């Protein structure tokens, strides 16, 4: 090894946590001193087994790994690390006296990012360590940006399918999901019901108590729907004071029972907390007629039964008898 010479133009150093793995204690000491002098945090270990334990305890930014070690050689250590999702992205630079071409090729084949021959040149070690730390940090930053972008896209997607006021699904999303549910029900010959509910006298609520109170009523109805329906049911705000529910796996009788449960919960909710004179009820129409041919026809039939509920006195559930 040669003494460290100062380059004509200093290379900006990216500092990192480096794991040194070599069964030669002299090499460990020399490399440790060299890297510590450049501002790196260094953990030296003298066997492959110790390396795996050290990585499990504290993930390094980069590994300098000897090849010829007893019991567990560097190739095997590298293969194990690359097979583990938790450590597979850590860059590994082999540093070895095994300088034949096939040794170097095998180092790259098992997952190494670089190969330094012994006896090593200190400037070369520093340059390669610095380069791969820079690449590693850039890759980490890129991965974080990808994660942030995925989260942002997921949030945008969620916002695009939700009703802003109530947090329920919106009409467009419901129609898309209902179309799939209808196709599945026909394919597997399983029951499917759809219900449409409308807040009774909602315009009167807005006119008498204010639109702010009306908004609180819609939010409250949405919460009661979510609380009282099955997790497999699909509920959406369909427009204005109108709500729609898809109930897969059940026919009209069970759907009517489920809707009556919701209707009673809405009627009995503590609406006077919003205003002492406020009361809220819901009229609901139900259809389970898959024979109508498409989900739009089922919704249209449920809508007709909704109007029958309205004309029959409101605060009730109507379906085909």
pLDDT at 213: 98
Reported confidence tier of residue 10, pLDDT bands at 50, 70, 90: low
Domains and CATH numbers, the chain: 17-143 (3.40.50.2300), 171-318 (3.30.70.270)
**Cα separation, 296 vs 282, whole angstroms:** 22
Q: What is the percentage of the chain residues whose pLDDT exceeds 90?
A: 95
In the chain, alpha helices (H): 25-37, 48-57, 74-83, 101-109, 122-161, 171-188, 202-209, 211-228, 252-268, 295-311
| Token couple for 125 | 């070690």
265 pLDDT higher than 70 = yes
Tell me the percentage of the chain whose pLDDT exceeds 70: 96
Cross-strand partners of 33: none
Count of CB atoms within 10 A of residue 304's CB?
Answer: 13
| Beta-bridge partners for 41 | 17
- The pLDDT, as a whole number, for residue 321 is 77
Residue 83 pairs with which residues in a beta bridge?
none
Q: What's the mean per-residue pLDDT of the chain?
A: 94
Q: What is the mean pLDDT of residues 178-188?
A: 97
Confidence of residue 1 (pLDDT cuts 50, 70, 90): very low
Q: Give the pLDDT score at 12.
A: 60
Per-residue pLDDT reduced to its tens digit, 21-43: 999 999 999 999 999 999 999 99
Question: Mind telling me the catalytic residues?
Answer: 241
Q: Give the model's confidence band at 14: pLDDT under 50 very low, under 70 low, under 90 confident, else very high.
A: confident
How high is the pLDDT of residue 246?
98
**At a CB cut-off of 8 Å and minimum separation 6, what does 208 contact?**
none
The DSSP annotation for 203-251 comes to HHHHHHH-HHHHHHHHHHHHHHHHHHS-TT-EEEEEETTEEEEEEET--
Higher pLDDT, 5 or 187: 187
**Which helix (H) or strand (E) element contains residue 192?**
strand 192-199
**pLDDT over threshold 50, residue 2:** no
**Cis bond leading into 119, ω under 30°?**
yes
pLDDT tens by residue, 60-110: 999 999 999 999 999 999 999 999 999 999 999 999 999 899 999 999 999
289 confidence band (pLDDT: 50, 70, 90): very high
* pLDDT tens digit sequence for 118-166: 999 999 999 999 999 999 999 999 999 999 999 999 999 999 999 999 9
* pLDDT at residue 7 is higher than 60: no
pLDDT given for residue 9 in this prediction: 47
- Mean of pLDDT values over 278-300: 97
| Angle formed by the axes of helices 74-83 and 101-109, nearest 10° | 20
């Amino acid at each position: 090894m040669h003494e460290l010479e100062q380059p004509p133009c200093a290379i900006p150093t990216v500092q990192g946590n480096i794991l040194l793995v070599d069964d030669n204690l002299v090499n460990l000491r020399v490399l440790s001193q060299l890297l510590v002098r450049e501002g790196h945090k260094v953990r030296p270990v003298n066997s492959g087994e110790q390396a795996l334990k050290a990585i499990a305890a504290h993930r390094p930014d980069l590994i300098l790994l000897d090849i010829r070690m007893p019991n567990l050689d560097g190739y095997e250590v590298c293969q194990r690390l690359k097979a583990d999702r938790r450590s597979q992205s850590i860059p590994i630079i082999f540093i070895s006296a095994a300088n034949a071409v096939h040794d170097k090729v095998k180092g790259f084949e098992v997952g190494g990012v670089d190969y330094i021959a012994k006896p090593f040149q200190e400037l070369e070690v520093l340059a390669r360590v610095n380069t791969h730390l820079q690449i590693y940090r850039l890759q980490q930053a890129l991965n974080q940006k990808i994660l942030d972008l995925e989260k942002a896209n997921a949030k945008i997607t969620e916002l695009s399918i939700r009703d802003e006021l109530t947090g329920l699904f919106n009409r467009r999303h419901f129609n898309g999901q209902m179309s799939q549910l209808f196709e599945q029900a026909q394919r597997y010959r399983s029951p499917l019901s759809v219900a449409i509910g409308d807040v009774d006298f909602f315009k009167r609520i807005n006119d008498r108590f204010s639109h702010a109170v009306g908004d609180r009523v819609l939010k409250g109805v949405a919460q009661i729907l979510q609380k009282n329906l099955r997790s497999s049911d699909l509920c959406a705000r369909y427009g204005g004071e109108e709500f729609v529910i898809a109930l897969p796996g059940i026919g009209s009788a069970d759907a009517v029972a489920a809707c009556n449960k919701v209707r009673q919960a809405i009627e009995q909710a503590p609406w006077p907390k919003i205003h002492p004179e406020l009361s809220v009820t819901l009229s609901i129409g139900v259809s389970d007629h898959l024979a109508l041919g498409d989900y739009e026809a089922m919704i249209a039939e449920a809508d007709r039964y909704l109007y029958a509920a309205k004309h029959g006195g409101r605060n009730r559930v109507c379906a085909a008898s």
